Amino acid sequence: METIVLGGGCFWCLEALFQLVRGVDSVTNGYAGGSGKNPSYEAVCSGTTGHAEVVQISFDSSVISLATILEIFWGSHDPTTPNQQGADIGTQYRSVVFYNNVAQNQTILESFVEAQKLWDSPIVTEIAQLDTFYPAESYHQDYFATNPEKAYCQIVINPKLAHFRQEFKKYLKNDN
């Protein structure tokens, strides 16, 4: 299995989306890119730690490539808005890709160039080497699956998933 850490707004949205992707083994919500050890959700939301809400995606690269994971990433959030996705505003919601090695960085940079062709505005996504990934608190894991009736899930996540199912249906697991 290979892993990549991505941030593109609220981690609940990316988690729900990537859990539908064929070849993705697991998606873990968490925090990365800030200072201090073991940040809490409250500390990250305060904006004082510099961490972003991210997902760590574990995937089988013989089934889905990192380039395809990134294609989905660029197409499932707005990478041109700094520190914001929709009504979620703050540095914790920034668009970011954390790579694990030089090969991943090269794939990310190539993907970035291709993705920029799809956007009129410049992509502002941060690209950085992963230092430490901190899993989020247990109540954040599998959030959409366990809380589909919550307002945020209905108003924000459901429309994103509907769009994803339409635009990226060739990457869906068979049961989705």
Question: Could you tell me the residue ranges of all domains in the chain?
Answer: 2-171
C-alpha of 38 from chain center: 19
Cβ(32)–Cβ(133) below 8 Å: yes
Mean of pLDDT over the chain: 96
Is 10 annotated in the active site?
yes
> For residue 88, which amino acid is it?
D
Cβ(112)–Cβ(123) below 8 Å: yes
Query: Rounded mean pLDDT of 70-93?
Result: 95
In this predicted structure, the answer to whether residue 143 has a pLDDT above a threshold of 80 is: yes
CATH topology of domain 2-171: Peptide Methionine Sulfoxide Reductase; Chain A (3.30.1060)
Q: For residue 156, which of 3, 1, 10, 4 has the smallest C-alpha distance? A: 10
Cβ(77)–Cβ(8) below 8 Å: yes
> For residue 17, which amino acid is it?
L
Provide the 10 A C-beta neighbour count for residue 130: 18
Residue 122's pLDDT band, with cuts at 50, 70 and 90, is very high
Q: Report pLDDT for 174.
A: 82
Residue 124's pLDDT band, with cuts at 50, 70 and 90, is very high
In angstroms, the CA 174 to CA 34 distance is: 37
Which residues are CB-neighbours of 50 under 8 A, at least 6 positions away? Answer: 33, 34, 35, 91
Residue 176's pLDDT band, with cuts at 50, 70 and 90, is low
Residue of 10, 13, 45, 153 marked active site: 10
Q: Report pLDDT for 51.
A: 97
Q: Report pLDDT for 175.
A: 67
pTM of this prediction exceeds 0.85: yes
